[in-house]
Structure 1
Amino acid sequence: METISQVLLGAFSVYVMYKFIRSLRLVPNQYAYIVERLGNYQKTLGPGFHALIPFVDKVVYKQDLREETIEVEPQECFTKDNVKVEVDGVIYLSVMDPVNASYGVTNYRYAAVQLAQTTTRSVLGNMELDQTFEERAAMSREVVSVLSEVEQLWGIKVHRYEIKNILTPRTVQKAMERQMTAERDRRAIIATSEGVKGSKVNDAEGMRAEIINISEAEMQRRINEAEGQAEEILAIAEATAKSIEEIAGALAQPKGTEAMRLQLSEQYLDVLSGLGRDENNVILPKDISNYDAIMEGLSLGEITANKKES
């Protein structure tokens, strides 16, 4: 009997020693320990060394404050056009309030995954199949928005949600491949037709530019010829006016009239000598015996008239 009492006493001593040792806690960095005293929340232990009251205080939760990566298992969803797809993803979150993460929800990891899955199903149900591949970012934002509504209650912070895969049945994949092939063929045909159209437009513009250049060159040539003729006429007129002015000035000089008459007489005689040179005819004035009278009445108009009569 005494031996049994000693064994029991020894076991009790070991248990008490164990409790005293367990009351000394060393909390690692980026961890938080939730302590209850007689079943009620007492305090939260941060990183460092802490001493608790044996048999009274108890560490009931150990929360990791680092960012966690939680896999969202694949689930079957139906799109707006009744196509079954399989979607999975990843949630990135961290504990911000250890107390709410411990008492606000039974298991915040499981709860976050379930809420992400239900939200994904709801979002996909409002999209057609083609949109699901284009609107991944919108779907992720919607899931994060829904999870943010329970962040304070659950004591967590959802940083982001990423959709990993959107898998469709093989029959749908084949149909999508045929559609993409047809779309690529259509784009190739359109690109070829646009190239032919651009080539014809360029050829037409080139011909138009060539015709315009030729017409402008011809117009410039005619303008140049007209300007040349105008300059020639102007030069002749200026020369004629100048010669007339010089003749008038010479006539105004002393003995100018006699010099002009002498020159006209010489021209008159040259005209008479030239007329009929190639023929067997001799042309004489109508009154050759009165040479002085002829010379006195001689004028440039008479010589011109004689030229016309001859």
Structure 2
Amino acid sequence: MVIDLDLVVTAIWGLIFFIFIIKLFQSIRLVPTKSAYIVERLGKYHATLDAGFHALIPFIDKVAYIHDLKEETIDVPPQECFSSDEVNVEVDGVIYISVTDPVKASYGVTDYRYAAIQLAQTTTRSVIGTLDLDRTFEERDVISAKVVEVLDQAGATWGIRVHRYEIKNITPPETVKNAMEMQVNAERERRALLAKSEGDKQSKINRSEGIKAETINRSEGEMQRRINEAEGKAEEILSIAKATAESIERLAAVIAAPGGQNALRMQLGEQYLKQLDGLGQSGSRVILPGNMVHFEQWMDAMGLQEQR
């Protein structure tokens, strides 16, 4: 079999040219926003490419690492932890981190995500080991703050920043969960009884306050009624006294006028005679003076002799 040497050489040069074209296109990089490309030149760190258009040297430069600079969420798998009172609980969480230094994230640690998860788990175990079971449910913020503090210290060398760490679930054993539910139910019943007793107490206080207020209102009303009656009677007496005084003043003025005394005598005589007529008609006894002369003189003095 005869092999055409020129054909082989042409094929080799064609393959080399094809590979060169591929490498040439691969050397052109378009970096998206919030991304960073780590470029190595001949196996050594050369540059960090930010967002935009970049051209590399074929066969010499290579993009070794690509980092997303946006904040990302990493789930922390469930793990078993022992509280200070020797209760086994299962805890899982979530970490929110972002890459701040792409170079350190590439060369400072093999896998910063895996390292952050492991450090978060170990820190969570150590913190829960210092707390009682009841406090682990109340001190979630303390646990999260401690994990963030430890991860921030390590993140300075890993080129990452831990924004926050949240505990998703703290799951105790089934027996402990049942005991806690019974405790919660007992506490709820105690609060219900306490609330009911407080309600009864307040109801009785309100009822007694109402009776007291009603009694006070009635007594004040009765007192005001009596005061009003007394003031009315006093006003009536003052009005009668004023009218009597005015009538006496007018009578005195009439008597002091010319002929006033004679008119008074006449009026008194008429009233006297009317009284005598009334006594006679009613069958009552009439007492007359024993000396009729004196009686006639008194009649003459009063000007009643003619009327008789």
Please state whether the residue corresponding to 1:61 is helix, strand or coil.
strand
Mapped partners of 2:246, 2:111: distance in 1: 120
- Counterpart selection for 2:111 from 84, 107, 111: 107
- Counterpart selection for 1:17 from 9, 15, 20: 20
Provide the aligned C-alpha RMSD in A: 3.0
- Counterpart selection for 2:229 from 214, 225, 231: 225
Mapped partners of 1:230, 1:198: distance in 2: 47
Contact 1:34-1:59 within 8 A present in 2 as well? yes
How far did 1:87 drift? 0.4
How far did 1:172 drift? 0.4
Contact 2:31-2:49 within 8 A present in 1 as well? no
Q: Which moved more, 1:260-269 or 1:96-105?
A: 260-269
Contact 2:31-2:52 within 8 A present in 1 as well? yes
2:85 is aligned with 1:81:
yes
Contact 1:88-1:163 within 8 A present in 2 as well? yes
The code of the aligned residue for 2:103 comes to V
Mapped partners of 1:85, 1:122: distance in 2: 13
Mapped partners of 2:127, 2:225: distance in 1: 76
Please state whether the residue corresponding to 2:110 is helix, strand or coil.
coil
2:151 matched residue in structure 1: 147
Q: Which runs of 5+ in 2 are unaligned?
A: 303-308
1:194-231, Cα deviation, whole Å (9 max, x unpaired): 22112212221221122112212211221121112111
Q: Which moved more, 1:79-88 or 1:285-294?
A: 285-294
2:212 is aligned with 1:212:
no
Mapped partners of 1:296, 1:201: distance in 2: 86
Q: 1:280 to 1:296 in 2, by over 3 A?
A: closer
How far did 1:265 drift? 2.2
Identity of counterpart residues, as a percentage? Answer: 58
Contact 1:24-1:49 within 8 A present in 2 as well? no
Alignment of 1:237-256 (within 5 A): 237-256=241-260
Please state whether the residue corresponding to 1:245 is helix, strand or coil.
helix
How far did 1:282 drift? 3.4
Matched residue pairs, number?
A: 294
2:181 is aligned with 1:177:
yes
Contact 1:20-1:54 within 8 A present in 2 as well? yes
Q: Which runs of 5+ in 1 are unaligned?
A: 299-310
Contact 2:95-2:162 within 8 A present in 1 as well? yes
Alignment of 1:156-175 (within 5 A): 156-175=160-179
Q: TM-score, normalised by structure 1?
A: 0.82
1:242-283, Cα deviation, whole Å (9 max, x unpaired): 111011111111011111122222233334444475446331
Contact 1:23-1:53 within 8 A present in 2 as well? no
2:240 is aligned with 1:236:
yes
